């Protein structure tokens, strides 16, 4: 299990108190499919990864009520990843090359927290990447474009007209370079038909497709599509790949995982860790592909312990039964 390492900062003023409590909402409201406080009241989150050569620096800023808490950063070569809390449980991600100080933001729910993170880390924003079209993942696009000019905006080609400012449509196997980093988009339909996960140097940004110990609701896609996106695409990444999802839903998801497989001690141990981590006001991201294979029930549809409780002729049938159960789990 990879515990997140957090950089303590003083961002409450810059964030304008807009994400004052990231807290335990997911545990209380079924997390990965709860309705957010975004203006359009849309929905939720998930992501993906690949082994890479440059390494990762994870530096998170967490604002919880009136204080900021954190631990020292993990520095693995040049790439830095800064989870940026937005709304009540969203994460945008500022990703940048340490040497050039150029970076891009993934899924800016709102602009102000991203602007604060850019100033804090002295990064020049050069692009916006969106995993899908839901408002709580694109709500900051227009304001960032207004402030920083004609930035390229990347999203799946099927989301043209639905992602504000989309100028660089992407598809499977169309890798591109931005801020000195190689980005590999993976089309992962299920939550939405245009969902994309971005793989960058051993990190996968999965939006609302893959959460820590969970997955997103099926708003536009089918159970077969989501099962394939999770198990045929994301779960096939190297086990050490870091997973950066779009929401902080880990405690709620692990409660469901422990309910599905009460004998799975990895899931139960991670639930204890995640609960304590959130009580300290710290994020539970990133996870790893290896950890998800061990604890995430939606990646374990072929497991005898899962199949003993959720029966089906195929793994897709088991997945659909799991998803229906998670939809009503409290």
Are 1 and 14 in contact by the 8 Å Cβ rule? The answer is no
- Rounded to 5 degrees, what are φ and ψ at 103? -155, 175
Among the listed residues 5, 187, 247, 291, the single catalytic one is 247
Q: Are 13 and 175 in contact (CB under 8 A)?
A: no
Q: Which of 121, 187, 191, 227 is catalytic?
A: 191
**CB 213 within 8 Å of CB 250:** yes
**Taking the chain, what is the end-to-end CA distance rounded to the nearest angstrom?**
25
Helices and strands (H, E) in the chain, number of each type: 10, 18
134 assigned to active site: yes
Per the residue annotation, which of 97, 136, 159, 291 is the catalytic one?
136
Selected catalytic residue, list 5, 133, 134, 227: 134
Assess whether 121 carries a catalytic annotation: no
Told to judge if 191 belongs to the known catalytic residues of this protein, a careful annotator would answer: yes
Which ranges of the chain does DSSP label H, i.e. alpha helix? 25-29, 111-121, 135-138, 141-148, 223-227, 250-260, 265-279, 289-295, 304-307, 315-328
Q: Which residues contact 20 (CB under 8 A, 6 or more apart)?
A: 12, 63, 64, 65, 66
Q: Which residues contact 250 (CB under 8 A, 6 or more apart)?
A: 26, 31, 211, 212, 213, 274, 278, 284, 285, 287
208 in active site:
yes
Catalytic entry in 137, 156, 187, 227: 137
Any idea which residue has 């001690």 for tokens?
265
Catalytic annotation present for 132: yes
Q: What angle do CA 186, 191, 140 make, to 5 degrees?
A: 80
Set 132, 156, 187, 227: catalytic member: 132
Q: Which residues are catalytic?
A: 132, 134, 136-137, 191, 208, 247
């Amino acid at each position: 299990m990879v515990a997140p390492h957090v950089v303590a900062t003083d961002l409450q003023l810059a964030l304008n108190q807009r994400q004052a409590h990231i807290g335990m909402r997911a545990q209380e409201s079924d997390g990965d499919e709860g309705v957010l406080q975004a203006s359009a009241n849309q929905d939720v989150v998930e992501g993906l990864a690949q082994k890479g050569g440059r390494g990762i620096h994870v530096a998170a800023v967490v604002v919880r009520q009136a204080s900021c808490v954190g631990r020292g950063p993990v520095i693995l070569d040049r790439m830095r990843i800064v989870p940026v809390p937005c709304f009540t449980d969203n994460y945008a991600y500022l990703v940048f090359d340490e040497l050039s100080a150029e970076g891009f933001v993934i899924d800016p729910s709102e602009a102000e927290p991203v602007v604060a993170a850019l100033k804090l880390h002295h990064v020049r924003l050069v692009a916006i990447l969106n995993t899908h079209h839901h408002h709580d993942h694109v709500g900051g696009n227009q304001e960032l474009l207004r402030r920083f000019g004609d930035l390229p905006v990347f999203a799946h080609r099927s989301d043209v007209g639905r992602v504000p400012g989309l100028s660089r449509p992407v598809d499977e196997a169309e890798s591109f370079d931005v801020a000195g980093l190689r980005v590999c988009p993976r089309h992962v339909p299920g939550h939405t038909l245009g969902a994309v996960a971005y793989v960058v140097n051993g990190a996968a940004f999965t939006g609302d497709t893959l959460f820590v110990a969970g997955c997103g609701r099926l708003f536009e896609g089918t159970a077969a599509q989501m099962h394939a996106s999770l198990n045929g695409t994301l779960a096939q990444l190297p086990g050490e790949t870091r997973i950066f999802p779009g929401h902080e839903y880990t405690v709620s998801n692990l409660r469901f995982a422990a309910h599905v497989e009460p004998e799975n001690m990895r899931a139960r141990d991670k639930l204890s860790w995640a609960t304590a981590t959130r009580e300290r006001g710290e994020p539970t991201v990133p996870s790893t592909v290896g950890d998800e294979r061990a604890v995430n029930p939606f990646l374990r549809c072929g497991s005898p312990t899962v199949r003993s409780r959720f029966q089906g002729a195929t793994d897709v049938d088991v997945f659909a039964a799991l998803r229906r159960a998670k939809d009503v789990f409290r």
